[in-house]
Amino acid sequence: MRKTHTAGALRATDEGRSVILAGWVHRRRDFGGLIFIDLRDRYGLTQITLDPQRVPADVFAVAESLRPEYVIEVEGVVHLRPEKMRNPRLATGDVEILATRVLVHNAAKVPPFPIDSDGSDVDETLRLKYRYLDLRRERMARNLTLRHRLIKHMRDYMDGNGFIEVETPILFKSTPEGAREYLVPSRVHPGDFYALPQSPQQLKQLLMVGGIERYFQIARCFRDEDQRADRQPEFTQLDVEMSFVDRDDVMGLIERMLIQFATEQADLHGKKLLYTPFRRLTFAEAMGKYGSDKPDLRFGMEIFDVSAVTRNSSFAVFAAAETVRGIVAPGCGGYTRKQTDELTELAKREGAKGLVVLYHDADGVRASGAGAKLSEAERAAILAAAGSAPGDLLLFVADAETPALTALGKLRLEMGARLKLADPSTLAFAWVIDFPMFTWDKDESRWVPNHHLFTAPRDEDLEKFESNPGEVKGKQYDLVCNGYEAGGGSIRIHRRDVQERVMRLLGLSMEEAYKKFGHMLDAFEYGAPPHGGIAPGVDRLAMLFAGEPNLREVIAFPKNQQAADNMLGIPSAPTAKQLKELSVRVDL
RNA sequence: GGAGGCGUGGUGUAGAGGCCUAACACGCUGCCCUGUCAAGGCAGAGACCGCGGGUUCGAAUCCCGUCGCUUCCGCCA
């Protein structure tokens, strides 16, 4: 090892020690007769001082030639800084190294962007093109360290709870009923393809049939779908599966793991958990109060129902609607027509027919606009249901239940953001349970699974299966946090007959079902234990704990929104020789 | 597939039909400087305003197209 200490290690108590540090020139302050160099490595900054009276002329000359991002090695002696020259903002601020030798390992061109910021001042395209420079930022080092500690915590925790990590293949089988897959051509089997796994779902269930009982894996998953701030084409999950468990066993396991992590790693991310134990709400509650199946629970602004009041309203829009729901935007009574029009646009984009705006004035609902059409009694009843105060703005959607709730859910998030209601230093973890198992897909005229087709129905709903599929609830649970889905899981079907009923309901012929999922159906006939699991998203959890706005900040080499990497220049065209070997022809 | 936003020296921005021979800050180069830590002072270099077309006497600025990045909708069992 060429260095005796890191650039973040030295303190006043090290005074007099001879040391060797190595790293990058962060900044150079040259006074002509005195030079300071901030030496940076992953661990911190240390000030190197070059005094011409105390170093040979050739060493001083080397120091004069240094530029930002040069890689250097410095030998010197730790000195206590004069009292007034200490820097309390630096962990190493009490000391400086009086250099006796400076070696340049490598010079550096002028970087295309500054390294001494958090990167928010630089176009992200450039950051990603020069990711190896971008990673030198303190922010990136902190994020990758946090991610490492999260994964290490997961491994230690799972190990401590009797789980073993088992690797599953990346070259997997194409399966329908899921996300679009990445395909890999087989050379040995011309015309045949592997698929990269969207998740190790089936394999981990087969591990349960294989008697592993407690499995986990830090698993890479691949989905060829369009990107979002919280979606990358390849991502990492803590994949978990256990035998002989109920829903609460799985939820409790993950909940304790996250609480422990948040407690032990408080120094790194500084985030507080808003709910311990985690909140629990049913899908119906989540939709009804927050208009979302992954609500941001850091603030209230719950949706309320005034249908009982408006059923016989003198306001035709209200009277005709299947349901009328609303939210209160506190203190927004001063909104202009232009501002409320923006909100109306947002509601329409989310599928609502429109937005009804009422103003809560000093003496009740303002009698203008929609307010003029409401009777005195209705206005009073609406304010009572809303629980609003003078100066508030009331937003209503009169529509069928689902569009009304989802539109108000989006409006709630929009108003929450405008009013800065969500505390950015908190994490509001919660479980959402009792999801409907199936949703009717109008376009395809068939039932589609809400989670996936291996999720078990609640025992009491088994009989409604064929008669009323929309009413069947599954043993599914989603981990949500601050408006993100941080993970999802379920108790699985472990019997062939039940699995076949699900497949039949989804419109799969038994022939098709067997072709695609025969390995599962067969396995269930050889003593498959009851089992269930979950897969928290590692990238998303790292993002949430780090307080970052997107996944790219917690991934060393992420893809951009076009699923491309402009540093590597991928994806890229294969050679004619490669294609020929794979028996693949490109048709553009 | 669709909608919005952005694109001007190395970086981040200003600019809203003629005042642009394009401004400011940071960075960069040179010189001065012994206690700075976002060091300071002086001087200087560096941009055909993403690309293509159009309107106009005149376009960074208006219009059309296109490319790149980003956020969102669809999609994500």
Which of the nucleotides lies closest to A177 (Cα–C1')? B77
* Gap from A225 CA to B1 C1', Å: 13
- DSSP string covering A221-259, please? EE--S--BTTB-SEEEEEEEEEES--HHHHHHHHHHHHH
Can you give the pLDDT at residue A341?
A: 85
Give A122 CA → B62 C1' in Å.
Answer: 30
Which nucleotide's C1' is closest to A31 (Cα)?
B33
What is the residue-averaged pLDDT of chain A? 93
Euclidean distance between CA atoms A343 and A396, whole angstroms: 11
Count Cβ atoms within 10 A of the Cβ of residue A191 and give its class: 0-12 exposed, 13-18 middle, 19 or more buried: exposed
- Residue A533 (CA) to nucleotide B57 (C1'), in angstroms, measures 74
User: CA angle A356-A357-A362, nearest 5°?
Assistant: 145
The tokens of A575 are what?
Answer: 């050679």
Specify which residue's alpha carbon is closest to the C1' of nucleotide B28.
A110
pLDDT tens figures, A112-144 = 999 988 888 899 999 999 999 999 999 999 999
Q: Which nucleotide is nearest to A560 (CA to C1')?
A: B69
pLDDT at A162 over 90: yes
In strand B, the nucleotides that come within 7 Å of a protein beta carbon are 1, 10-13, 26-29, 32-40, 68-77
pLDDT score at A349: 83
pLDDT at A482 over 80: yes
CA of A363 vs C1' of B76, distance in Å?
Answer: 48
| Nucleotide with C1' nearest the A47 CA | B37
Cite the residue boundaries of each domain of chain A with CATH code 3.30.1360.30. 299-421
Per-residue pLDDT tens digits for A244-256: 999 999 999 999 9
**What confidence score (pLDDT) does residue A359 get?**
94
Q: The tokens 């009843």 sit on which residue? A: A381
Question: pLDDT digits over A174-232, tens only?
Answer: 987 789 999 999 999 999 999 999 999 999 999 999 999 999 999 999 999 999 999 99
Q: CA-to-C1' distance for A310 and B28, Å? A: 69
- Asked whether the bond before A277 is cis by omega within 30 degrees of 0, the reply is yes
A205: Cβ contacts below 8 Å, ≥ 6 apart: A241, A454, A492, A520, A523, A528, A531
- Distance from residue A229 (CA) to nucleotide B65 (C1'), in Å? 29
A37-74 pLDDT tens trace? 999 999 999 999 999 988 899 999 999 999 999 999 99
State residue A363's pLDDT score: 86
Neighbours of A371 (CB within 10 A): 21
CB within 8 Å of A239: residues ≥ 6 apart: A199, A200, A204, A215, A216, A217, A218, A219, A533, A535
Domain with CATH 2.40.50.140 in chain A: 12-106
What is the average per-residue pLDDT within A97-108? 95
Q: CA A320 – C1' B5 distance (Å)? A: 38
**Biggest alpha carbon distance in chain A?**
94
Q: Name A389's Cβ contacts closer than 8 Å, sequence gap at least 6.
A: A330, A360
Q: What is the pLDDT of residues A6-17, one digit of tens each?
A: 999 999 999 999
CB A442 within 8 A of CB A470: no
The percent of residues in chain A predicted with pLDDT above 90, rounded, is 79
Q: Which residue is nearest to nucleotide B32 (CA to C1')?
A: A32
What one-letter code names the amino acid at A447?
A: W
Confidence of residue A267 (pLDDT cuts 50, 70, 90): confident
- Which residues does residue A30 pair with via DSSP β-bridges, in sequence order? A35
Protein residue minimizing CA–C1' distance to B26: A114
Tell me, what's the pLDDT at A372? 86
Q: What is the pLDDT of residue A294?
A: 95
Question: What is the homologous superfamily of the domain A12-106 according to CATH?
Answer: Nucleic acid-binding proteins (2.40.50.140)
Tell me, what's the pLDDT at A368? 80
Query: Tell me, in Å, how far CA of A110 is from C1' of B21?
Result: 29
Nearest nt (C1') from A552 Cα: B70
CATH superfamily of A299-421: GAD-like domain (3.30.1360.30)
